[in-house]
Amino acid sequence: MSDEHELDPAEGETLFYESGGAWWVVAIGPVLCLTVFIMEIFGGGKLHWPALLVFGLLIGGFSLVQVYAARAHVSVRLTEGTLRQGAQTIRLDEIEEIFPENHGSEHAKWESAPALGELSAVPRRRSGVGVKLVGGRLAQAWARDVHHFRSELQQAHQAVQMGLGPKRRDTDTPD
């Protein structure tokens, strides 16, 4: 298992996970440069391998930084006891209420609330889920697959409210 999915006994099992960025994107620039180089070989023209190598490294390097940042700041992990949005993690018992999806034409108050995490707004290509935190502050949890996320968040939140915390996993064997 990768680090993103490792279990912390206090948090419980992972119920929903989005990485925020895929590592395969890093290969796009270098693969395109390699394709151009192969076309130059078979085309019989001048080979521009130094320039293609530099461009491949630059594009790959920028992509690497972008994917790393996306995985750090736009990832979502919901467990039986916590919700991590980017670099911010909150316990599910810190959520007082999860608002229903807004199907009306009127703007719901939670839709203008700040996003959870260190971002100023809900990230692009993600949708918000309105939550009221203990203390009355409104916020937006968010995910790309918002319908699945909302369902899992509501079930996990309800379980925590009912006192059904993370499942205990016995790692000790009886003597």
pLDDT at 4: 47
CA distances from 38 to 23, 24, 46, 64 (A): 24, 21, 12, 24
The four Cα atoms 49, 51, 55, 56 give a dihedral, to 10 degrees, of 10
Which residues pair with residue 98 across a beta bridge? 131
- Our CA angle for 28, 30, 36, nearest 5°, is 100
The mean of the pLDDT values for the chain is 88
pLDDT at 8: 60
